[in-house]
Amino acid sequence: MGTLPRVARAALHRWEEPCISGTRGSGTVFFSGCPLGCVYCQNYALSHDGQGREVSVERLSGIFRQLEEQGAHNVNLVNPTHFVPAIRRALLLRRPGVPVVYNSSGYERVRTLRAMEGLVDVYLPDFKYADADAARVYSDAEDYPQVALAAIQEMCRQTGLPRYDANGLMTRGTLVRHLILPGLTGASMRALNLLRERLPAGTPVSLMGQYTPCGEAAKYPGMNRRITRREYARVRAHMLAIGLTEGYVQDLSAADEAYIPAFDGTGL
């Protein structure tokens, strides 16, 4: 990636958590490229192949305005990490009148996040792995667990516990996502244990069961299938048992490629 943002889609998106999508949709800007190399990435054309169009800082600011004018509940920056300097400038040109959501893999430097302090209202990070081996094999990032934990702790420091408006939309806070991978329910439980131990009590967690084999998943034993209802139920029971009762669980019908938007330049 270069220094200017590369964007593949900017449109209302209705498939985030209810407190993000609401009734009108989240104003989602999908950026190309990624700091991680996840072999199963649902947005493989963006993260690995760099599909998208380069835009100026001024145009990016205009895209934020357009989404707001379309009725978006928020401006949702999907995978913004590697374009933070340009995104920061775009937000400083004009601060949106709706919350800004920073939607990322969790693989962040703390100093990067501090550059966004005061400009981000809601952090929506993944916490993918508690195990270095899985992080290395599936995302080419052996240090993911410690890096992501430090980053999410910084996000929680910046936002505090979640705040919601009268319609249940999150206006400030950090909501952590965890995606269950097939055959790795034990690893998911360990990840949830870390979140319970290291994050402020009351931090909401979204337990995701939408894994769909994409990218190069078929090359890795056991990864070429969706998770089962039994796997999801097992991890969900553990999450509740350890006291992670704030957040969301997911209908497994969301595990379908139909929920992946078209990265066709819409909104650019």
For the annotated binding site for [4Fe-4S] cluster, the residues are: 34, 38, 41
Measured distance CA(40)–CA(248) in Å, rounded: 23
Annotated binding site: 34, 38, 41
Are the C-beta atoms of residues 209 and 203 closer than 8 Å to each other?
A: no
- Up-side HSE of residue 107: CA atoms within 13 Å toward CB? 20
Residue keyed to tokens 């991680």: 36
Q: How far apart are CA 14 and CA 259, in angstroms?
A: 10
CA dist 150 → 20, 110, 183, 268 (Å): 24, 7, 27, 34
What CA–CA distances, in Å, run from 189 to 39, 41, 237, 241? 21, 21, 10, 11
Q: How many Cα atoms occupy the beta-carbon half-sphere of 7 within 13 Å? A: 25
- In eight-state DSSP terms, residue 167 is T
